Amino acid sequence: MASDKISVSGFRHFFPTEDGPVQATGTIDLAIREGEFVTLVGPSGCGKTTLLKAIAGFIAPSEGTILCDGKPVKGPGRERGVVFQELAILPWRTVRRNIAHGLEIAGASKAVRESTVARLVDLMGLAGFEDRYPHELSGGMRQRVAVARTWAADPEIILMDEPFAAVDAMTRLTLQEELGRLCATTGKTVFFITHSVDEAVFLADRVLVMTKRPGTIKAVLEVPRHGSGGRDWDSFTADPEMRNISEQVMHLVHAERGAR
């Protein structure tokens, strides 16, 4: 398993509270290959964000080990970028300076910063908004900036925690297609958390389904790709194979909701 980009084994997490520790997740084992897009879908409160935070290095697991490229995760690092649900780009920086932030921290030259910003602004449809502040943008535009900022820093692994959950439904469809294209052209390893079944299947090479709290992974479904480039919603919804996978995932997720 040395070729795994991310490898989680025997992971379990507890949060300390005044009434003693509360179990956030069950035992989780997971491996993600290089260049793979893995989505994790599960009911709210099942511990998906806890798992993502542990991979990001924001929290130290109570039990088990997390390896990236075979090396144990000891804290956050620039090889693992994170896109949050909301409230993570800085309101006092323009779009341009938010996107270039990672490069600025890495000490990249002005020329490199400018060309990277120009490329991502173009890819994410942000042209003309470079010098705006986040409060002047719609929610969808802000999430495009957040995605662009993470990609600009060029991490090997990208962790996404329900990045489109706070965006309106129409914009979300566009953002999902854009993300699919972006990943197809850049070949990043992505771990993406969501509670939307359609989103999970649409984006993934592989979908993991989690049980309710304390969550464990109850099923893994491969989602085959036909042709290169990202998927688009028109052909996705017309494809019976995709519909079939979505229905399977829906049943698995629904069983968890019914059990509550």
Partner 1 sequence: MMAARAFRELRILIPFAAAIALWWGIKDGIGVSNTLLASPAQVWTAFVYLATHGVLAEYAATSLQMIGVAAAISFALGVPLGFAVGTNRYAARALEGTLRFLQGISGIAWLPLAILWCGFTHTTTLIVVIYTLIVPIVFNTMTGVRAIPENYVLALRSLGASRLRIVVDVYFPGALPSIVVGLRLGMGYGWRALIAAEMLVRQGGLGDLIFGARTFNQIDRIMVGMIAIGILYIVVDRLLVQPIESMTLARWGVLRR
Helix (H, G, I), strand (E, B) or coil at 200: helix
Q: Which listed range, 97-105, 167-175, 195-203, 229-237, lies at the site for partner 1 (CB under 8 A)?
A: 97-105
Dump the DSSP string for 130-182. Answer: TT--GGGS-HHHHHHHHHHHHHHT--SEEEEESTTTTS-HHHHHHHHHHHHHH
Binding mask 31-60 for partner 1 (x = CB under 8 A): -------------------------xxx--
Report how far residue 162's alpha carbon sits from residue 64's, in angstroms, rounded to the nearest whole number: 24
Q: Which stretch binds partner 1 (CB under 8 A): 73-81, 114-122, 200-208, 210-218?
A: 73-81
Binding-residue total with partner 1 (CB under 8 A): 29
Q: Which of 92, 128, 238, 259 binds partner 1 (CB under 8 A)?
A: 92
User: Looking at residue 44, what DSSP letter applies?
Assistant: T
**At 84, which amino acid appears?**
F
Indicate whether 220 belongs to the interface with partner 1 (CB under 8 A).
no
User: Is the preceding omega at residue 43 within 30 degrees of 0, hence cis?
Assistant: no
The residue within the footprint of partner 1, chosen from 153, 200, 217, 253 (CB under 8 A), is 153
Binding site for partner 1 (CB under 8 A): 56-58, 75-78, 80-82, 84, 86-92, 101-102, 105-106, 133-135, 146, 149, 153, 155
